[in-house]
Structure 1
Amino acid sequence: MSNQNKTLGFLQQREARHGLPGELYGDPDVYREDLAQIWHKEWIFAGHTFELEKPGQYFTLQIGDYPIAVVRGTDGELRAFHNACRHRGSKVCNEDHGKAAKLVCPYHKWTFDLDGKLLFAGNMGGNFDKQQYGLKPAHCAVVESYIFVCVAEMAPDFEPFRKAVTPFIAPHGLNNCKVAYEASIVEKGNWKLVFENNRECYHCEGSHPELLNSYVENLSVAGIASGEEPELAAFWDRCEAAGLPSRLVMAESGQFRLTRIPLAPNATSYTMDGKPAVSRRLDRSGVENIGALLYFNYPSTWNHFLGDHALSFRVLPMGPGETLLTTKWLVHKDAEAGVDYDIDHLTRVWKATNDQDRRLVEGTQCGVTSPAYVPGPYSDTAENGPCQFDDWYCDTMRRKLNV
């Protein structure tokens, strides 16, 4: 049986409003199809433009089978390349972040310009045509500081996503930001479990005491309550009057969503005391408490934007049972550590929350890959988020596998 038919068989076993069959989290052949149909075909969040301000700056990431380098050229353009030398395949850029005048393969010193052109290849003879051996490009697109990469031969249309998210993100001024702190953890669980866990707060009361100092799940935002609650509608009206789009927008496919939520009473930021972590604001709305703008884009990112800072989260699969989660705390570029913000005050809540979620995901991975596991029903009042993610995943895989 082919991997495609095998995966389709597991997809067909899923009951409506139930979790996924365990094989979809642990089977190596399903993982290969996840990579082939989703990770190797969709736009994947890579990083931020302000991480690559100067020519020669680069960062690297691994998108499934594909090592990628994103580089700022001397012309100011951002480009994504397959991070494999055209000689014998060695990675050209070996560091997570770096800066170089030229991209030099460490193996045999083939040297590439920042636009990918091969400049030097020693001992290759007089008939060797350097023009045929530049670095292979990958698709690269930018929206409001967010860099996305697609390794497919033909990338999906990026413009609908750009058009939807720009009005929401633009007022938060991310183009004037910097990374104040970055942390990566490896969660020993399938990437789908990582996203399912993120999409609900059913587990929050028993697991996230730090986060619940400021975060409150709203039933209307979660799609559970009917209509708009008066207090939520008033909050949205106040923010939108100040130029901050807030009411929920979701892609027809369910792949991305944006909405703004109010925080707990007297809280304005994700901190232990609910007070701002950074003295310099990002937005210019004039509204003291703008809550948190939440946005996700499957399969690779979720994000939170507050008045004083923002957080971006990047999900990358490492295997059927391993996922890399990278979190970046973003602050105004002129904010100074130790003056305008304290690193511990800024990062404590989400460092704790990420580690708590890691343990939950790892425990769940052990359970769902047990031969005895049978998926249970989702709560109608607390788990619409993970159910929506599973619906998107199943619909996407069925559509692509049936082509």
Structure 2
Amino acid sequence: MLSNNQLLSLVESRQSGRSLPQPFYTDQAVFERELELIWERQWLFAGVAAQIPKPGNWFTLEVGRSSIVVVRDRTKAIRAFYNTCRHRGSRICAGEKGSSGTFTCPYHQWTYGLDGKLLFSKEMGEDFDPSEFALKAVHCESVEGYIFISLAEKPSPFEHFREQVSPYLKPHGLDNAKVAFESTIVEKANWKLVIENNRECYHCTASHPELLRTISEFDGPTDPRFGGEYAEKCLRDEARWTASGLPHQPIETDEGYRLVRVAMERGLSFTMSGELACKKLLGTNQDEDVGSLRLLRFPNTWNHVLSDHAIAFRVLPLSATETQVTTWWLVNGDAEEGRDYDLEDLTAVWKATNAQDQRLVETNQQGINSKGYQPGPYSPLVERGVTEFIDWYLATLASELSNAPKTIPVECIEA
């Protein structure tokens, strides 16, 4: 086990403006402490409400060693529970998704309602009180079609985040969207490399020709490359959005999330042609060109919401050098495949981009594994997003360590 003092020493060894020391990307002991100090304490993006449109629909996700089941109950509320029977701890729901009226443990048939209450437990004696053995709840919050969970006993407040992002998301009606396609890949790289790669477009020109058919490499005037015809289009689009009451002003915080509506440089949507991928627009909006609403929340999600569809991304760490990345493509709940949208057209850009990013981060991991790796400098001009993520990550670790009980090191690693 990596002690608090050892981890804090490693945090403090990082040179400002440079990538992290090697153990942050390779060491299983660091990874285990991250699970404890970040993944089991922060609000995590779990998935989209469109995955569970009807009562009884459920899906599971793995957070470290814990399996979580997220379900829509009979009142249509969304709940989350540890996927662990209160009898002898067996896993209850097998697989990634399903639909059922109750949850029944396959071991001894203890049965739970969709609200987590224990409904049936045979031969437990007269003194047994079933009300004491409901499924253990996980904190769960929903905001305009996005589901977040926290494994912390007392999670940080969620309401301010909801108040900030809800007006931006609401016009897109993602609560009433449906999943047109879902993709999960396992990238052989540390989870932080996956997020770092997302936080910069320094690599885009050489690596993402499909994505750059429509979007710019940058999303605002703070980038030194911003200007010209694209800057003029941004001003026109923002004026139109303001007139129609569509929120677009950037929300930048030091609380681990960011929201910005970015004008498309060319075209209307993330397709190879730039044309709309779906004829039925999302929500109440009738403007075909609403740019890309980008929602980022550390440690595990980024999102693009357009006029005709949305793309949601979830990152989950599997080990020090493996990361699961799931992508959902969402369309209007009334849209019909083959009539309103073509699945290949809808998914082509981000399928290609995801595959390209997988190759990039896996190659990045291979290089970091080398004895020759030393932390290198971030570009102060075009890698500001990476720096912001790393600063958040280190500050979060330091903050949690300051409140953590002291531990006795069993094994040391070199910083």
Report the Cα offset of residue 174 of structure 1.
0.9
Unpaired runs of 5+ in structure 2?
A: 404-415
> Who is 2:263 aligned against?
262
Structural mapping, 1:14-93, within 5 Å? 14-93=14-93
Give the Cα–Cα distance (whole angstroms) in 1 for the partners of residues 221 and 306 of structure 2. 17
Equivalent residues of 1:57, 1:71 under 8 A apart: yes
SS at match of 1:349: helix
Give the Cα–Cα distance (whole angstroms) in 1 for the partners of residues 238 and 319 of structure 2. 41
Give the Cα–Cα distance (whole angstroms) in 2 for the partners of residues 170 and 82 of structure 1. 30
Give the Cα–Cα distance (whole angstroms) in 2 for the partners of residues 226 and 182 of structure 1. 34
The share of aligned pairs that are identical, in percent, is 46
> Who is 2:96 aligned against?
96
2:247 to 241, 245, 263: 245
> Who is 1:310 aligned against?
310
Give the Cα–Cα distance (whole angstroms) in 1 for the partners of residues 35 and 8 of structure 2. 15
Equivalent residues of 1:305, 1:311 under 8 A apart: yes
Equivalent residues of 1:214, 1:270 under 8 A apart: yes
Give the Cα–Cα distance (whole angstroms) in 2 for the partners of residues 19 and 219 of structure 1. 23
> Who is 1:217 aligned against?
217
Structural mapping, 1:156-171, within 5 Å? 156-171=156-171
> Who is 2:204 aligned against?
204
Structural mapping, 1:249-328, within 5 Å? 249-253=251-255, 255-265=256-266, 267-328=267-328
**Counterpart check, 1:105 vs 2:101:** no
Give the Cα–Cα distance (whole angstroms) in 2 for the partners of residues 60 and 153 of structure 1. 20
Structural mapping, 1:118-197, within 5 Å? 118-197=118-197
C-alpha change, 1:38 and 1:223, in structure 2 (3 Å) is: farther
- TM-score, structure 1 as length reference: 0.95
SS at match of 2:373: coil
- TM-score, structure 2 as length reference: 0.92
Residues 271-306 of structure 1, C-alpha deviations (whole Å, 9 max, x = no match)? 111111101111544433221111100011100011
**Counterpart check, 1:6 vs 2:6:** yes
1:129 counterpart letter in structure 2: D
Unpaired runs of 5+ in structure 1?
A: none
Residues 352-361 or 46-55, more deviating: 46-55
Residues 192-230 of structure 1, C-alpha deviations (whole Å, 9 max, x = no match)? 000000011111111111111112122635655799955
Give the Cα–Cα distance (whole angstroms) in 2 for the partners of residues 133 and 179 of structure 1. 34
Equivalent residues of 2:68, 2:82 under 8 A apart: yes
Give the Cα–Cα distance (whole angstroms) in 2 for the partners of residues 10 and 373 of structure 1. 16
1:232 counterpart letter in structure 2: C
1:307 counterpart letter in structure 2: S
Report the Cα offset of residue 263 of structure 1.
1.5
Equivalent residues of 1:221, 1:261 under 8 A apart: no
2:236 to 234, 237, 253: 234
Give the Cα–Cα distance (whole angstroms) in 2 for the partners of residues 373 and 92 of structure 1. 44
C-alpha change, 1:25 and 1:334, in structure 2 (3 Å) is: same
Report the Cα offset of residue 12 of structure 1.
1.2
Equivalent residues of 1:3, 1:30 under 8 A apart: no
SS at match of 1:58: strand
Give the Cα–Cα distance (whole angstroms) in 1 for the partners of residues 77 and 42 of structure 2. 22
Equivalent residues of 1:242, 1:285 under 8 A apart: no
SS at match of 2:95: coil
Report the Cα offset of residue 15 of structure 1.
1.6
Residues 295-347 of structure 1, C-alpha deviations (whole Å, 9 max, x = no match)? 10001110001111001001111111111111000000000001100000000
Report the Cα offset of residue 159 of structure 1.
0.7
Give the Cα–Cα distance (whole angstroms) in 1 for the partners of residues 45 and 55 of structure 2. 21
1:152 counterpart letter in structure 2: A
